[in-house]
């Protein structure tokens, strides 16, 4: 029976890739006309779409010769793959936990023997205390260590003995086609596992809050509400990503099967280590422009310029309409944020803006590092 515990509220984001139209849909957005949409996996269960069966005649014609039905044992390669998957699940299963907050349920990964648990920032939300359930059913209270929304990573902590930390692998060594397993608690079903492959690497996906998540892993392993914060694992039993988003098809209004996204393990480790050390992130490696934006009729308008920040130093001012970044048009703030997030601190970008008096100018902005 599916648990009746509340799942975290649904959120929507848009994957960004070549040949894919960027569509950002906020929680209150009305519609999208094209492209693929992804949502943070922490929401209510999506409505099921019935499968239509083909028409079958009531009486099937008899065959003149009975077909052979000889069964053969699985070949060695298939059996070996199955055994490896079973071994990985047994190895990693004790490291995957369920996290309950005031808002609902999510998943987490035991990071070290001290009780630090890595999950998604959207799983913890605004909560500071949690209930963690281990794979053996034991529950423990947990407290917040730190959360970093720009990369959707958070760390919470339990006080317990006999914990089984997961091994985090090097996500830069992944290849498209690698087998992976998604482990977590979808729909409150504890310790569930799905399998698939790495479908693409280096994806950039956007959340409705405006966060652009770089270096995301696209996978065909099914990711469902409640999987957020769990483990994407390779066949060596190493965590290579944290499942975070599932894709939805705006035309059918439901999930797009076989398209999910995970934060890479290398980025998760970078953020988690800093949160554990000091409770904050001081070296995100994320590019930063130093402005706040509102979407106007004609595009993103600067409503705040941080004093001394990259935009301020380049001469941008409140009221400027941002037209493009390095020649790429920016029809909305999400597109602008994604363009900046694709860069690194220290990169120089060409920003074309229209001043309030109607004049246009292109300036060079040397991007800074996204602050804590």
Q: Which of 171, 228, 255, 284 is catalytic?
A: 228
Q: Which of 95, 116, 122, 147 is catalytic?
A: 122
Question: In the annotation, is 152 catalytic?
Answer: yes
Q: Which of 152, 215, 234, 320 is catalytic?
A: 152
Q: What's the chain look like in SS3?
A: CCCCCCECCCCCEEEECCCCCCCCCCCCCCCCCCCCEEEECCCCCCCCCCCCCCCCCCCCCCCCCCCCCCCCCCCHHHHHHHHHHHHHHHHHHHHEEEEECCCCEEEEEECCCCCEEEECHHHHCCCCEEEEECCCCCEEEEEEEEEEHHHCEEEEEECCCCCCCCEECCHHHCCCCCEEEEEECHHHCCCEEEEEEEEEEEEEEECCCCCEEEEEEEECCCCCCCCCCCEEEECCCEEEEEEEEEEEECCCCEEEEEEEEEEEHHHHHHHHHHHHHHCCCCCCCCEECCEEEEEECCEEEEEEECCCCHHHHHCCCCCCEEEEECCEECCCHHHHHHHHHCCCCCCEEEEEEECCCCCEEEEEEECEECCC
| Catalytic residue set | 122, 152, 228
């Amino acid at each position: 029976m599916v648990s009746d515990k509340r799942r975290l509220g649904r959120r929507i984001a848009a994957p960004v890739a070549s040949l894919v139209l960027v569509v950002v849909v906020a929680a209150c957005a009305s519609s999208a006309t094209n492209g693929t949409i992804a949502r943070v996996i922490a929401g209510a269960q999506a409505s099921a779409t019935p499968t239509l069966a083909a028409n079958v005649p009531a009486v099937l014609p008899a065959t003149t010769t009975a077909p052979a039905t000889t069964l053969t044992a699985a070949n060695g390669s298939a059996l070996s793959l199955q055994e490896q998957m079973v071994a990985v699940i047994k190895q990693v299963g004790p490291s995957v936990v369920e996290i309950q907050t005031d808002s609902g349920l999510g998943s987490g990964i035991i990071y070290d023997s001290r009780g630090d648990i890595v999950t998604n920032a959207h799983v913890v939300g605004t909560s500071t205390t949690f209930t963690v359930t281990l794979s053996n059913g034991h529950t423990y209270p947990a407290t917040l260590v730190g959360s970093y929304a720009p990369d959707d990573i958070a760390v919470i902590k339990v006080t317990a003995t006999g914990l089984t930390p997961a091994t985090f692998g090097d996500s830069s060594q992944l290849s498209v086609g690698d087998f992976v397993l998604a482990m977590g608690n979808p729909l409150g079903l504890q310790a569930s596992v799905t399998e698939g492959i790495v479908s693409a690497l280096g994806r950039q996906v956007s959340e409705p809050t405006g966060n652009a998540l770089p270096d995301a892993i696209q996978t065909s392993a099914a990711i469902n509400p409640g999987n957020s914060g769990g483990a994407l694992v390779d066949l060596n039993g190493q965590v290579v990503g944290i499942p975070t988003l599932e894709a939805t098809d705006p035309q059918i209004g439901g999930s797009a099967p076989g398209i999910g996204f995970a934060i890479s393990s290398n980025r998760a480790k970078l953020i988690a280590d800093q949160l554990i050390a000091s409770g904050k992130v001081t070296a995100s490696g994320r590019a930063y422009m130093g402005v706040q934006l509102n979407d106007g009729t004609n595009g993103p308008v600067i409503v705040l310029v941080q004093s001394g920040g990259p935009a301020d130093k380049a001469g941008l001012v409140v009221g400027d309409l941002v037209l493009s970044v390095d020649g790429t048009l920016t029809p909305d703030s999400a597109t602008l944020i994604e363009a900046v997030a694709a860069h690194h601190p220290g990169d120089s970008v060409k920003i074309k803006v229209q001043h309030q008096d109607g004049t246009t100018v292109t300036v060079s902005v040397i991007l800074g590092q996204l602050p804590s």
